[in-house]
Amino acid sequence: MSTHCNLVFMLVVTLYGQVYAGRIFGGHEVVPHSRPYMAIVRKHLENGDVRYCGGFLINQDFVMTAAHCYSSSYTVFLGVHDTTALNDEVQQIEVEQSFPHEGYNKTGYINDVMLLKLGSKAKFTSSVKPIKLAEYDDKSLPNPCIVCGWGRVDNENTGMSSKLMEVDITLVSNEYCEQQNSYCSEGVNGPREGDSGGPLVCKEGMVYGVVSAMKNSPGHKLYTYTKIPDYNDWILSIKEKTVIKI
């Protein structure tokens, strides 16, 4: 019981004390544990501070997130819906090794994807399950889509949401997105900084992208998502590197 109390206390204090864990604007609360692939990625900084990103479980061994969420060490939380709730469904797992894409460019958020190898296998339950990665990109936009996160639900400075929220988005095509080779959405509603690393879930319930960056212009917000189908070979190579050969 004390372990769960400490876990919830740490999540609540850090989520409300620092606005890092994601800001879903214009969204709604998800049905509890209906998004069992969602992960909270706690980053441990060298100065002792912690920051948060989103992430998602792709198998028992790996969580995917954004490369710009890179840090010296991490803890992953699985099975979370309400950060204030005490239950035995939450799994807290240390990360054994991180694999940011070697071609990541922090100036343009190019190749903004990272795999986190868990120190122990995630236990699949009704509230913890992996999500399937989209394997092919037929150059069409896989609408409709959703993004999820724990964060502010409006433009007021009301702190973070304790419950997992999601928002419906529509992907758009424009010259900037094509140059970046990214999926994009635009408008007021959507993810913000700190919600990075969360999944872009589209048709057939597969994850097509990783929440990457937001571009501001007068009266306009453009959100970019790293295209997962472009990284299937890279993902496979990372998995093969970590296979234990007996």
Per-domain residue ranges for the chain? Answer: 145-229
User: Which pLDDT belongs to residue 246?
Assistant: 36
Band the pLDDT of 39: cuts 50, 70, 90.
very high
Q: Looking at residues 211-228, what average pLDDT do you find?
A: 85
The active-site residue, picked from 68, 98, 162, 212, is 68
What type of residue is 187? G
pLDDT digits (tens, 9 = 90+) for 140-168: 999 999 999 876 555 554 556 778 888 89
Task: Check the CA dihedral 228-229-230-233 and report its sign.
Answer: positive
Q: What is the mean pLDDT of residues 90-97?
A: 96
Please enumerate, as own/partner, the contacts of 83-86 that have beta carbons within 8 Å and a separation of 24 or more.
Answer: 83/8, 83/11, 83/12, 83/15, 83/150, 83/162, 83/163, 84/8, 84/12, 84/162, 85/8, 86/1, 86/4, 86/5, 86/8
Asked if CATH classification 3.30.2310.20 holds for the domain at 145-229, the reply, yes or no, is: no
Of 98, 112, 161, 182, the catalytic one is: 112
Is there a catalytic annotation at residue 196?
Answer: yes
Residue-averaged pLDDT of the chain: 83
Distance of CA 132 to the CA centre of its chain: 14
Least trusted range by pLDDT, from 26-40, 53-67, 146-160, 227-241: 146-160
* pLDDT of 63: 98
Rg from Cα positions in the chain: 17
Looking at residue 242, its pLDDT comes to 81
Q: Out of 127, 185, 196, 212, which one is annotated catalytic?
A: 196
112 is catalytic: yes
pTM of the full structure? 0.86
Q: Is 68 one of the annotated active-site residues of the chain?
A: yes
